[in-house]
Amino acid sequence: MGDTYSHGHHASVLKSHEWRTAENSAGYLLPHLAEGQRLLDVGCGPGTITADLARRVAPGEVVGIDPSAEVVERAQALGGEHANLRFAVGDVYALDLSDDSFDVVHAHQVLQHLSDPVAALREVRRVLAPGGTLAVRDSDYGAFTWHPASPGLTRWLELYHQLTARNGAEADAGRRLGEWVRAAGFTDVTVSSSTWTFADAESRAWWGGMWADRVHRSAFRDQVVAYGLSDDDEIGELSAAWQAWADEPDGFFAVLHGEVLAHP
């Protein structure tokens, strides 16, 4: 399927993706990993989480797939450090992988961007071995919380919801993961949640500065303008709002994620 990725792969986007690690983004999965497991990371992006997972299940084989050849090439530079890790371009709706071939399938911030997440999960279920583990985690934009109040950030969030709806995606995926996983035929479904929190000077500068850059340089800007949802004047205001939040000495931002562990 030709899903449209609302963020794109500009350097300002990959900056946030490369910050992610197994520790800060897959903590709910880590207790369930063991040496020798074969693991598939769907929508692996630049591979920072994937590489961490590869270290934890070595010598088990780890495969990271992503639909973007550009991003896979970037991940391969990292993967060279791990003999048990490889990356490939792949389609989650049609995996070029054998039935029952992985002990663990992991997907981080993937389902929210798909037009048919249940179909993708059914395909993932096909490649999971009996007794295997599915681990999915997605943010829930509607549950984002920040302080102090910011009309600019409120408008940014409104625009992002409009954009993802236009692209056939689901910005509030975190709350729907359990529903989708059960619809795909998984059992023993455990739902949890966790947050990324940015509330000190260093993390505010990074998170706010990154978004100030992203809103006017990434595919977000290109798409909302192309769809007639916004214009460059407003985009400039949103970027400034993000920077103003980053400069707030009492600024707080929490990103809520839904998480699911399940079995085929």
pLDDT profile of the chain (264 residues), mean per 10: 56 66 96 99 95 97 96 86 95 98 98 97 98 98 99 98 96 99 97 98 96 91 96 98 98 99 96
Q: What pLDDT is attached to residue 78? A: 77
Q: What pLDDT is attached to residue 112? A: 97
d(CA 80, CA 205): 32
Q: What pLDDT is attached to residue 18? A: 81
Q: Are 189 and 182 in contact (CB under 8 A)?
A: yes
**Which residues, other chains included, contact 235 with Cβ-Cβ below 8 Å and sequence gap of 6+?**
215, 216, 221, 224, 225
Whether this model's pTM surpasses 0.85 = yes
